[in-house]
Structure 1
Amino acid sequence: MPKRVTIVDYGIGNIFSVTRAFQHCGAEVLLTDNPRDILEASSLVLPGVGAFSNGMDGLRQRSLIDPLQEYAASGRPMLGICLGMQMLFSESTEFGIHAGLNIIEGKIHPIHSQVIEGKHLKVPHIGWGVLQSAEEASWDNTILNRLDIGDSCYFVHSFMAVPDNPKYRLADTKYGSVNICATVAKGNIYGCQFHPEKSGLVGLNIIRGFLEI
């Protein structure tokens, strides 16, 4: 029997490519902006692209903030993707100070431009990034359990998450000299800064790993 996944539609994000990726992996998908659907979900995905404040405004306008926080406390699996991962955090400094969902304690900070060996690394960070295990992190029994260290995923972002507790970092990637938090895990809550739905077989294996949680 296919696993049912509820994907949050709050008017911003690449919801259709995320939906197709989960369906490709055998999931039955409900795309919704209904608070009751979120509270009753057995497995929940919060996608997103764009600015942090716009994303939070989209959630607020649809009265989804309290249901998302209540769902996260339920022990059921939840996955934030790109902006969706960032909104799981307490606060963002993108275009001002904005409160997030505060499901994972920490802040969203800008990626600063760099010059490495005379080469200017532009922001946003766009392209494939190699995943490395964060310090003391194990990928066993997580959404990354089908992956190998050194697999690559597709990133598009100008801001990065910094968890208050480093134990929440599951995988990192390097952009120049900057160590970027690529995947977070706090109990039943997961987040990917990259786009698994745009990351080929590696990304599909992450989705399969989430469906197995």
Structure 2
Amino acid sequence: MSTETTPEETTTPAAPRAPRVVVLDHGSGNVRSVVRALEAAGAEVSLTADAAQALEADGLVVPGVGAFAATMDQIRAVDGPRIIERRLAGGRPVLGICVGLQVMFDAGTEHGVRAEGLGEWPGEVTALQAAIVPHMGWNTVETADGSRLFAGVEDERFYFVHSYGARSWDLEAHPRLLPPQVSWAVHGGDRFVAAVENGPLTATQFHPEKSGAAGARLLRNWLDTLPAGAAAPGTASGPGAAPADGPGTEPPA
């Protein structure tokens, strides 16, 4: 009797592919650090404003620094509202960072000027009420119970640089949907939204790409939620991982 094996018997399952992520290139400053951090966390990353690529990617990242109104103008210029809305309608993950979190709300008011946001969440982004503004530097986060985004880094510090924030949360939970998980931070006694996990829409007020090992782990946690499955092995994910980038000097948001 022959003991030879067939090709089907010797084939091993293919390793999960790296999740494909698009960083929306709408003109936000210093997005290269976001790209590098996502690559270090195990993603295959494209920096582009191409709508087809942004719609087809496993994950879309919407960065933002500077003023709320200017960021909205930049996002509109690359058809960002339609791209973001179509992805969310199809349950496809989106991650907003810094002003990329702020624009998910109904509106933002800066220096007395109110600008319309994307309207994914009710509420308005307003000036922080603290003696020292901008809020710039490392801060802890009051993480939501059961947060998947903060798994393993619940007690770590993250890097913030902003003068405005969402200082209330007004979205009512839908009885048939999982309630949003909202994490908070405090600066100078003023409490504001630090992160939101709301179905396919996730966002952070802080910069994970500038938050060292904790930020690297948080990005890996987000990548692990994407349809492609777990990020590639051997990537930065634990407390000992090297920082993706040091604290930056972008203008406060």
TM-score scaled by length of structure 2? 0.75
Residue 50 of structure 1 pairs with residue 58 of structure 2: no
The worse-fitting range, judged by mean Cα deviation, of 166-175 and 97-106 is 166-175
| Structure 2, unpaired ranges of 5+ | 1-16, 173-178, 226-253
Partner of 2:47: 31
The worse-fitting range, judged by mean Cα deviation, of 65-74 and 17-26 is 65-74
Contact 2:62–2:96 under 8 Å retained in 1: yes
SS in 2 for 1:20: helix
SS in 2 for 1:45: strand
The worse-fitting range, judged by mean Cα deviation, of 58-67 and 151-160 is 58-67
Matches within 5 A, 1:1-213: 1-95=17-111, 96-114=113-131, 122-134=132-144, 137-139=145-147, 142-148=148-154, 150-161=155-166, 162-165=168-171, 168-213=180-225
In 1, the alpha carbon distance for the partners of 2:87 and 2:221 equals: 20
In 2, the alpha carbon distance for the partners of 1:50 and 1:107 equals: 17
In 1, the alpha carbon distance for the partners of 2:83 and 2:93 equals: 14
Contact 2:130–2:188 under 8 Å retained in 1: no
Amino acid at match of 2:67: A
In 2, the alpha carbon distance for the partners of 1:158 and 1:168 equals: 24
In 2, the alpha carbon distance for the partners of 1:78 and 1:207 equals: 12
Q: How many residues align?
A: 201
The CA deviation at 1:169 is: 4.9
Contact 2:121–2:171 under 8 Å retained in 1: no
SS in 1 for 2:221: helix
The CA deviation at 1:145 is: 1.7
The CA deviation at 1:128 is: 0.7
1:99-130 Cα offsets, whole Å, 9 max, x none, are 1111222211110233xxxxxxx111001111
Contact 1:8–1:45 under 8 Å retained in 2: yes
Q: Which structure carries more strand by proportion?
A: 1
Partner of 1:118: none
The CA deviation at 1:133 is: 2.5
In 1, the alpha carbon distance for the partners of 2:157 and 2:121 equals: 24
The CA deviation at 1:41 is: 2.0
Identity of aligned residues (%): 37
Contact 1:92–1:107 under 8 Å retained in 2: yes
In 2, the alpha carbon distance for the partners of 1:18 and 1:189 equals: 18
Amino acid at match of 2:38: F
Amino acid at match of 1:77: P
| Change beyond 3 A, Cα 1:165–1:144 | same
| Structure 1, unpaired ranges of 5+ | 115-121
- Which of these two proteins has the greater Rg computed from alpha carbons? 2
Moved over 3 A (4+): 166-169
SS in 1 for 2:202: strand
Amino acid at match of 1:159: Y
Contact 1:14–1:47 under 8 Å retained in 2: no
The CA deviation at 1:18 is: 0.2
The CA deviation at 1:172 is: 1.1
SS in 2 for 1:153: strand
Higher relative contact order (CA 8 A, sep 6+): 2
